[in-house]
């Protein structure tokens, strides 16, 4: 079950890949973006990170032909600095992160990510992680549950949904949860999304600490980049995109970085038609400016 990578051609083009460079795919998944990057390399190396062991194994098989030029590590993408240090990598020429959930996770009922069929209330990207969605849904106090739905899902009916969940406890599975949410959520205009979409998004973000991970990734990655390196991030909802936009703006204000995507890049109609899950994707790219001589070096030269 392979995930269809989003905006692959655009990412390869924006990364401006050096054949001898060192690149990190910080959210490897089943290896779609990584495969496109490694094909552009000759003597260069690719390091792939992912916290999902099942995805890592699928990617390992897909990338096997490239031998030692590919290194895969099961870890959170926020650990990019530790990985670079432990592997003694040179400064990176490029980093890509796709913040979406992979098809492998969405289309595996027993992972509990989707409301399209009954599955356990799990939602963990790393099955070794202790917190599961069931703990939040069936055991957290009403106020805490409502806060999760509002903060991470931007769900305006969060309190009403939390109250309904408490009344319906124990919630048996994802299908039961979706039914409970749909029964109380207000219809606003034309309903393009399933009524439970924001609830499932919020729970997934909470279980996997996604915004905390992203914040750490944004703060730690700059130290790993070489002069002239490019860093591309694909986001899929407003909370992520705002964090990426602000993180890149803060870097640009330091004077050492240039935002290359003045306007966010989105997939074209052809790609959305071929891969509907790409429709909400937003790509932002920043470049670390080439190092300049500091004052003491200029005086010495």
Please tell me whether residues 100 and 245 are part of one structural domain: yes
207-223: b (≥16 Cβ within 10 Å) or e: bbbbeebbebbbebbbe
Q: How many domains does the chain have?
A: 2
Instruction: Residue 282: name the closest of 2, 29, 16, 11 by CA.
Output: 11
Give domain status of residue 109, yes or no: no
Instruction: Residue 122: name the closest of 131, 114, 130, 133 by CA.
Output: 133
Q: What is the pLDDT of residue 294?
A: 42
Q: What is the pLDDT of residue 190?
A: 59
Give domain status of residue 270, yes or no: yes
Please tell me whether residues 133 and 178 are part of one structural domain: yes
Please tell me whether residues 62 and 202 are part of one structural domain: no
Give domain status of residue 28, yes or no: yes
Q: State the Cα–Cα distance between residues 5 and 275, nearest whole angstrom.
A: 9
Q: What is the pLDDT of residue 107?
A: 83
Please tell me whether residues 175 and 249 are part of one structural domain: no
Pairing label, strands 22-25, 92-98: parallel
Give domain status of residue 25, yes or no: yes
The percent of residues in the chain predicted with pLDDT above 70, rounded, is 93
Tens digits of residue pLDDT in 103-162:
778 888 889 999 888 899 999 999 999 999 999 999 999 999 999 999 999 999 999 999
Residues of the chain with pLDDT under 50: 292-301
Q: What is the pLDDT of residue 105?
A: 84
Give domain status of residue 294, yes or no: yes
Instruction: Report the predicted TM-score, pTM, of the whole model to 2 decimal places.
Output: 0.92
Please tell me whether residues 143 and 292 are part of one structural domain: no
HEC letters along 126-149? CCCCCCCHHHHHHHCCHHHHHHHH
Q: Which two tokens stand for residue 118?
A: 């009954």
Please tell me whether residues 169 and 141 are part of one structural domain: yes
Q: What is the pLDDT of residue 189?
A: 59
Give domain status of residue 1, yes or no: no
Give domain status of residue 139, yes or no: yes
Residue 232, domain CATH: 3.40.50.150
Please tell me whether residues 80 and 223 are part of one structural domain: yes
Domain final residue, candidates 185, 209, 233: 209
Q: Which two tokens stand for residue 285?
A: 């790219």
Tens digits of residue pLDDT in 128-137:
999 999 999 9
Domain final residue, candidates 175, 209, 243: 209
Q: What is the pLDDT of residue 250?
A: 97
Please tell me whether residues 79 and 224 are part of one structural domain: yes
Please tell me whether residues 131 and 16 are part of one structural domain: no
Q: What is the pLDDT of residue 1?
A: 54
Please tell me whether residues 71 and 26 are part of one structural domain: yes
Give domain status of residue 2, yes or no: no
Give the structural domain span for 294.
8-104+211-300
Q: What is the pLDDT of residue 191?
A: 62
Q: What is the pLDDT of residue 106?
A: 84
Please tell me whether residues 205 and 221 are part of one structural domain: no
Which residue reads 């393009």 in tokens? 192
Please tell me whether residues 220 and 148 are part of one structural domain: no
Domain final residue, candidates 160, 191, 209: 209
Residue 156, domain CATH: 1.10.150.170
């Amino acid at each position: 079950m392979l995930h269809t990578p989003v905006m692959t051609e655009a990412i390869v083009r924006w990364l401006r890949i050096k054949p001898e460079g060192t690149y990190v795919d910080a959210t490897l998944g089943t290896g779609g973006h990584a495969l496109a990057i490694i094909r552009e390399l000759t003597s260069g190396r690719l390091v792939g990170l992912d916290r999902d062991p099942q995805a890592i194994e699928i990617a390992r098989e897909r990338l096997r032909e490239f031998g030692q030029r590919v290194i895969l590590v099961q870890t959170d993408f926020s650990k990019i600095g530790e990985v670079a240090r432990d592997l003694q990598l040179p400064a990176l020429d490029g980093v890509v992160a796709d913040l979406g959930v992979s098809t492998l996770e969405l289309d595996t009922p027993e992972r509990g990510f989707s409301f399209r069929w009954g599955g356990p209330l799990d939602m963990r990207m790393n099955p070794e992680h202790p917190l599961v969605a069931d703990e939040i849904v069936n055991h957290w106090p009403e106020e805490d549950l409502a806060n999760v739905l509002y903060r991470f899902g931007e769900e305006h009916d969060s309190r009403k949904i939390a109250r309904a969940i408490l009344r319906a406890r124990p919630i048996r599975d994802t299908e039961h949860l979706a039914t409970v949410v749909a029964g109380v959520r207000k219809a606003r205009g034309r309903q393009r999304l399933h009524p439970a979409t924001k609830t499932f998004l919020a729970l997934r973000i909470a279980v996997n600490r996604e915004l905390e991970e992203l914040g750490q990734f944004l703060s730690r990655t700059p130290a790993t980049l070489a002069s002239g390196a490019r860093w591309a991030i694909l986001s899929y909802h407003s909370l992520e995109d705002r964090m990426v936009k602000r993180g890149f703006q803060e870097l640009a204000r330091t004077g050492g970085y240039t935002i290359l995507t003045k306007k966010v890049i989105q997939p074209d109609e052809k790609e959305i038609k071929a891969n509907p899950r790409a429709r909400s994707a937003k790509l932002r790219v920043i470049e670390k400016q080439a190092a300049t001589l500091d004052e003491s070096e200029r005086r010495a030269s």
